Structure 1
Amino acid sequence: MYLTPQRILLAGASGLTGEHLLDRLLNEPTVAHVLAPSRRALAGHPHLANPVGELSVLLPQLSGNFDTAFCCLGTTLKQAGSQAAFRAVDHDLVLAFAERARALGARHLLVISALGADAQSGVFFNRVKGEMENALHAQNWPQLTIARPSLLLGPRREFRLGERLIAPLARWIPGKYRGIQACTLARALWRLALEEQEGTRVIESAQLRQLGR
């Protein structure tokens, strides 16, 4: 059985995966409206509402009624500048967005986490992602889909030296560690949004690549 999301709330639309996902949503005839708050203005579209500013400030101002919410938020330790700043985005802001989306009627949340997410991990990045997943689960969403991609591949606006060096190898690493194109992840997220399956499910990177083909 499939649901057809008509009204979509999207966070992270100006990011690598969010851009691909937004383009897909706006070209789906079944999508009537997309609300995508962002830090910079997005290209206009008849079905897009795009309040511009800091998401933490915009969240209380968002209004409407939505079927599905996508969270494509994420940063890096280097970009954030500190562990506390990283956590503020990849944990706190994700949870705040999810709470607001639920208050606006969304019944299905799809969120991008990361391969290796584990609240008990000794690796800070993985631990924060795992704690974020656990906190979302505690929100008791009717339907929660957690995507755990490996290294995301694709052109970014900002320069990330580590990813630039690893990307050529990540395309050929076997199994779950192989890199995944952001456009592939976006296609997978849309397919998952159309599926009705109550409760929480975690989709690992290898399955995301298959779904996004």
Structure 2
Amino acid sequence: MRSAIVVGATGLVGSALIKLLCESEEYVSITAIARRKLDYEHPKLTVKIRSFDELGEQDIDYAQELYCCLGTTMKKAGSKSEFEKVDFEYPLHIASLAKKRGIMHLIVISAMSANDNSSIYYNRVKGKLEKELITLDLPQLSIVRPSLLVGDRSEFRLGEKMGELVLNVVNPLLIGPAKKLRSIEANQVALAMKVIALHGKKEPVSIYESQELANMAMPQPEEEEEISREQLFNWSKLEQEQLPPLDDEVMFDHAKLREKEVKRNNRNIED
């Protein structure tokens, strides 16, 4: 049985992931590290309200996996420095703490076009994060690169909502190499992250693109083949074999038993 830590548990993917792990048979304990209280409660769930600026080694317990779902937008962050703090500095610091605590697997959400040489600022920050995480030499690092995330957000984002509406129409037309541009449900990304933790690649560093995430599902348990009564007991072979007769000393012989009783009674009379 496993335990997990989820950082960024109030976001679109993080909140879906928390529910998925809590309702999973594979996990017995889930710790959410968040800046505010969650709307979700579960007996398996422990919530730690923390400021990420002050997060220390003592705040990270041991777990099999740490899922990092942190992310914001430039509009919400308000400045490039605040954006980089959430999307670069915090994940990198958390990864460093996880390594110190002996957590074997970090699974982090990046972006589809992450590239530290990109002309697009958002993609460049995500690429820089990936590069620094790889340099950190973690026991196991899985980088998840979803395309545009869709789902029920607690906050309204006009740009992403418009993109979601457009892609709902365009998605079926995106085939072949363009298929990777399709939007992806946050619930599916959460499921893919769980699949990666339990059944993913075992390399030190793995990168999962959006199309691969969209196709992931939990493996179905193999059904045990039902063994018939005829297979358990080979009646035809039993019928063909000649069973040797039991030794008469072993058999329950009533006549022999009466004979022994008569002899015992005669001895008693003679005595």
Query: TM bucket by the smaller chain?
Result: over 0.9
Length-normalised TM-score, structure 2: 0.74
1:116 and 1:63, CA in 2 relative to 1: closer, same or farther beyond 3 A?
A: closer
The residue aligned with 1:52 is 49
Give me the whole-angstrom Cα distance separating, in 1, the residues matched to 2:187 and 2:133: 25
The residue aligned with 2:13 is 17
1:186 counterpart SS class: helix
The residue aligned with 2:197 is 193
The residue aligned with 1:100 is 97
Q: Which structure has the larger Rg?
A: 2
Aligned residue type for 2:18: L
The residue aligned with 1:29 is 25
Structure 1 alignment gaps of length 5 or more: none
The reply on whether 1:85 has 2:82 as its aligned counterpart is: yes
Deviations 1:153-187 (A, max 9, x none): 01111111101111012233311111000001001
Q: Is the 8 A contact 1:142 1:198 kept in 2?
A: no
Among residues 3, 9, 12, which one is paired with 1:7 in the alignment?
3
Q: Is the 8 A contact 1:107 1:143 kept in 2?
A: yes
Length-normalised TM-score, structure 1: 0.93
The residue aligned with 1:39 is 35
| Map 1:160-199 → 2, pairs under 5 A | 160-171=157-168, 172-173=170-171, 174=174, 175-195=179-199, 197-199=202-204
Q: Is the 8 A contact 2:57 2:100 kept in 1?
A: no
Give me the whole-angstrom Cα distance separating, in 2, the residues matched to 1:94 and 1:160: 23
Greater relative contact order structure (CA < 8 Å, 6+ sep): 1
Give me the whole-angstrom Cα distance separating, in 1, the residues matched to 2:211 and 2:60: 36
Structure 2 alignment gaps of length 5 or more: 219-271
Instruction: Calculate percent identity across the aligned residue pairs.
Output: 37
The reply on whether 1:64 has 2:61 as its aligned counterpart is: yes
Deviations 1:27-67 (A, max 9, x none): 11221211111122123322211111322324444142111
The residue aligned with 1:116 is 113
Among residues 154, 163, 167, which one is paired with 1:157 in the alignment?
154
Among residues 180, 188, 209, which one is paired with 2:214 in the alignment?
209
The reply on whether 1:136 has 2:133 as its aligned counterpart is: yes
Give me the whole-angstrom Cα distance separating, in 1, the residues matched to 2:155 and 2:58: 29
Runs of 4+ in 1 over 6 A off after TM superposition: none
